[in-house]
């Protein structure tokens, strides 16, 4: 009779639209209030799509095999191959499907490295994307309930019969909320990961989690994910797996979004609290490496690091919401960042002496301008940091989403602990992305997974709903 979709971000909206178009009656439960709807989708701006030729979303061809090879490269081959190939293959359909839901495309943003061919940028960013999907869903007749925190699933063996949620601003029935028991013929869980639950993060990361900055919505607390586990769902993904990037240390604890991300690292050097470099800043193109830097910073003393660059590269990357520290000398810059000036001077001098350039620095390609006999090396874009003024950002690990979720099959059905699927429970988005993203990340690929499996989950959820009608 009806499909209940848990989660009001990209994956949940795609599921709701697909289920409604397939003939089901759909209720979408969004844990946030209306003005905060959309989950982490609000902070996105682009999606990675395979395509055989240029189109409205991208400037050149990006074959399926190239996208799949890029995925293997960032995950080290640790991915569920059938699910990954399904994601890559179905991504070829998404540009046209998204347009049909009201999405419009815009040229790539200035300062983005090598994304114009691989990624489509939607006009107005993630907020506009979510609004387009909400408009489409509600026009189709999807009923949306806000402030609806999913807390449990009642089941009869392999079949989910009810979704239990708290309706209202109160987080429990005893705290101003009203507990609702909603009957369903099928359920799609697309309520994100658990990155906003600091205690859950602390269980895996210890005290380091105290320094995590949560880039996205404060409503992704993992309640629906815990409810799936309680109902017998099989966990999947690395418990410590994170999409985490370097963000400005001045960012708010929650919901700072993409404007707090720091893209300066490949343009200079990154040092820790001891003013020592700790990783290759030029290992690969930034869209394939930016999402490793949050975890790298977690491993540094105090979970803090610093991006250092000079006048040669200032202004050549997408700016953050905050201006960097600026000084005419490295010593003054170090003092403004709380670093030891002599230690930073030694690190920069050692780096400068090791630079071996073979031609102009090309920030849009792997240019081979590298360091020699330096540990760690810088494999590309190496150039001396010697042109004042000097700049620096203090960096914290910014957590976007967690990789621990539930196992699913190719039809997006949630698998039970024994490996058999639930008859009518499906999952999409961040709560199942860990099947595909064991580690590492490709810019825009989380949205790809959510859109592909949101559509699959919604269409398949409508089938048992129709069968029971």
Q: What is d(CA 415, CA 406) in angstroms, rounded to the nearest whole number? A: 7
Q: Are residues 367 and 428 in the same domain?
A: no
At 108 the pLDDT is 79
Let me know: does 422 contact 159? Beta carbons within 8 Å. Answer: yes
Distance CA 259, CA 277 (A): 25
Averaged pLDDT for residues 262-270: 96
Q: Are residues 252 and 376 in the same domain?
A: yes
Where is average pLDDT lowest: 135-144, 168-177, 379-388? 168-177
Shared-domain flag, residues 290 and 167: no
- CATH number for the domain spanning 183: value is 3.50.50.60
The last residue of one of the domains, among 374, 398, 422, is 398
CA 454 to chain centroid, in Å, comes to 16
Per-residue pLDDT of 428-453, as tens digits, reads 999 999 999 988 899 999 999 999 99
* 221 and 308 assigned to the same domain: no
- Average pLDDT over the chain reads 94
Boundary of a domain, candidates 349, 366, 398: 398
15, 125: one domain:
yes
Which of 373, 398, 423 is the last residue before a domain boundary?
A: 398
pLDDT at 318: 83
**DSSP percent split of the chain into helix, strand, coil, nearest 5:** 35, 25, 40
Tell me the two tokens of residue 375: 């540990």
> Residues 93-119: what's their mean pLDDT?
85
Helix/strand/coil for 416: strand
Tell whether 7 and 55 lie within a shared domain: yes
Domain-embedded: residue 254: yes
Would you say 224 and 150 are in contact if contact means Cβ atoms under 8 Å apart? yes
Tell whether 389 and 424 lie within a shared domain. no
Q: Give the distance, in angstroms, between the CA of residue 364 and the centroid of all CA atoms in the same chain.
A: 23
- Residue 452 exposed, middle or buried by CB count within 10 Å (0-12, 13-18, 19+): buried
State the SS3 of 230-287: HCCECEECCCCCEEEEEEECCCCCECCHHHHECCCHHHCEEEECCCCECCCCCCCCHH
In a domain, 83, yes or no: yes
128 — phi, psi (to 5°)? -65, -35
Is residue 359 located within the same domain as residue 262? yes
Same structural domain for residues 9 and 86? yes
Range 329-340 average pLDDT: 98
What is the model's pLDDT at position 465? 55
Answer yes or no: is 331 within a domain: yes
Q: Are residues 392 and 408 in the same domain?
A: no
Distance CA(88)–CA(80), nearest Å, equals 12
Q: Which two tokens stand for residue 208?
A: 């380091």
CATH code (residue 356): 3.90.700.10
Q: Quick one: which of 384, 358, 354 has its CA closest to 369?
A: 358
What local confidence, expressed as pLDDT, does residue 468 receive? 52
- Both 57 and 139 in one domain: the answer is yes
Domain shared by 262 and 290, yes or no: yes
pLDDT of residue 89: 98
Residue 209, in any domain of the structure: no
Range of the domain at 266: 244-398
> Rounded CA gap, 115 and 67, in Å?
12
286 band by pLDDT with thresholds 50, 70 and 90: confident
Instruction: For residue 32, give the DSSP letter.
Output: S
Number of domains in the chain: 2
pLDDT at 112 (0 to 100): 46
């Amino acid at each position: 009779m009806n499909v209940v979709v848990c989660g009001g971000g990209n994956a949940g909206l795609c599921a709701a639209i697909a289920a409604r178009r397939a003939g089901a009656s759909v209720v979408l439960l969004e844990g946030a209030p209306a003005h905060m709807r959309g989950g982490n989708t609000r902070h996105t701006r682009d999606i990675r799509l395979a395509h055989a030729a240029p189109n409205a979303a991208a400037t050149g061809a990006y074959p399926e095999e190239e996208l799949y090879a890029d995925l293997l490269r960032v995950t080290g081959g640790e991915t569920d191959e059938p699910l990954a190939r399904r994601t890559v293959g179905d991504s070829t359909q998404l540009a046209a499907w998204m347009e049909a839901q009201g999405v419009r495309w815009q040229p790539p943003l200035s300062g983005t490295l090598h994304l114009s061919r691989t990624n489509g940028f939607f006009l107005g960013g993630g907020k506009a994307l979510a609004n387009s999907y909400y408009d489409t869903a509600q026009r189709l007749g999807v009923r949306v309930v806000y402030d609806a925190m999913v807390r449990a699933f009642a089941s009869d063996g392999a079949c989910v019969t009810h979704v239990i949620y708290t309706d209202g601003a109160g987080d429990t029935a005893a705290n101003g909320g009203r507990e609702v028991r909603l009957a369903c013929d099928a359920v799609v869980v697309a309520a994100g990961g658990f990155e906003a639950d600091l205690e859950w993060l602390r269980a895996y990361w210890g005290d380091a989690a105290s320094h995590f900055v949560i880039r996205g919505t404060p409503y992704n607390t993992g309640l629906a994910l815990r409810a799936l586990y309680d109902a017998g769902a099989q966990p999947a993904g690395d418990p410590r797996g994170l999409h985490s990037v370097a963000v400005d240390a001045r960012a708010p604890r929650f919901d700072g979004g993409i404007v707090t991300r720091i893209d300066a690292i490949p343009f200079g050097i990154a040092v820790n609290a001891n003013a020592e470099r700790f990783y290759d800043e030029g290992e690969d193109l930034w869209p394939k490496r930016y999402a490793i830097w949050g975890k790298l910073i977690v491993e540094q003393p105090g979970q803090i690091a610093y991006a250092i660059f000079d006048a040669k590269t200032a202004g050549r990357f997408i700016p953050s919401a905050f201006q960097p520290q600026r000084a005419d000398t490295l010593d003054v810059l170090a003092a403004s960042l709380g670093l030891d000036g002599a230690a930073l001077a030694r690190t920069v001098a050692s780096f400068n002496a090791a630079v071996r350039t073979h031609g102009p620095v090309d920030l849009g390609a792997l240019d081979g301008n590298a360091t020699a006999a330096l540990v760690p090396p810088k494999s590309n874009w190496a150039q001396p940091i010697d042109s004042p003024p000097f700049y620096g950002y203090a960096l914290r690990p910014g957590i976007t989403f967690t990789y621990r979720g539930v196992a699913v099959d190719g039809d997006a059905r949630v698998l039970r602990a024994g490996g058999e699927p639930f008859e009518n429970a499906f999952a999409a988005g961040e709560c199942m992305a860990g099947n595909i993203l064991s580690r590492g990340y490709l810019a825009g690929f989380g949205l790809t997974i959510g859109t592909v499996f949101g559509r699959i989950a919604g269409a398949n959820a409508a089938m048992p709903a129709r069968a029971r009608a």
